[in-house]
A and B are shown apart, each in its own frame.
Chain A
Amino acid sequence: DIVMAQSPDSLAVSLGERATINCKSSQTVLYSSNNKNFLAWYQQKPGQPPKLLIYWASTRDSGVPDRFSGSGSGTDFTLTISSLQAEDVAVYYCQQYYSTPYNFGQGTKLEIK
């Protein structure tokens, strides 16, 4: 199984500042045949289901603000919020879909400082 580990577990950032969340997989999720990283990011607000933000490590889903960006390759990935807004308070999860079982990271709780 591919184990996903996020850091930090929680993060407090001032409004307008940059927030960075890291995700590390225990094995590569880069598929050499198509050069794609099988890595997604989700945002979960209290009382809501997760919302897909990014897939293929860096492709924003439709309607996701461009302040959200994903980067990285192989085993190390980053979700960056360039200018934190109040509505970005949530728990963020990474997920690998390179192989089953599809595993998620433990989550990073993002708060306002």
Chain B
Amino acid sequence: QLQLQESGPGLVKPSETLSLTCTVSGAAIDNSYYYWGWIRQPPGKGLEWIGSIYYDGSSFFNPSLKSRITISVDTSKNQFSLMVTSVTAADTALYYCARLGRTDTLLGYYFGYFDYWGLGTQVIISS
């Protein structure tokens, strides 16, 4: 059974860098041909996709955050990570990691829905 677990500091100071890691168990990131992603949810609000990465390191991001985002993958640890620089109170949120579901067809493969989620990790930006 695939499981994802987020980890990282729960409290980050404004202007500093937020770093989170997602550990995947039940499948090897580099042997599954899936994309992986980060989504966040501010308190009492909806869901915002942050960015996604493939096992080979190719990635794509939400343009609203792109200048501050780095997503990386460590296949040896079966993990992928998120860094957000220059954080402000607006970055306070529950951060989820997730797998992008994939559908194979005769025309090729398609992805983009999130079929497995971690439980989330709360991050508060405060001095």
- Interfacial residues, chain A to chain B (CB-CB below 8 A): 1, 31, 33-34, 36, 38, 40, 42, 48-52, 55-56, 61, 93, 95, 97-98, 100-107
Contacts and interface: CB of A to CB of B under 8 A. Distances in A.
A92 to B, nearest CB: 11
Contacts of A31: 110
Interface of B: 46-49, 60, 62-64, 96, 98, 101, 103, 105, 107, 110-115, 117-120
B101 A55 contact: yes
B110 A103 contact: no
Nearest to B117: A49
Contact of B62 (A48, A101, A107): A101
The 9 closest A-B pairs by CB, nearest first: A97-B112, A40-B113, A49-B117, A55-B113, A102-B49, A101-B62, A104-B47, A52-B115, A107-B46
Nearest to B108: A34
Contact of A101 (B49, B98, B113): B49
Contact of A97 (B47, B98, B107, B113): B113
Contacts, number: 64
A52 B120 contact: no
Given A97-B111, A102-B49, A103-B49, 5 more contacts: A34-B107, A42-B47, A52-B114, A104-B49, A107-B47
Given A33-B107, A34-B107, A104 B117 contact: no
A106 B110 contact: no
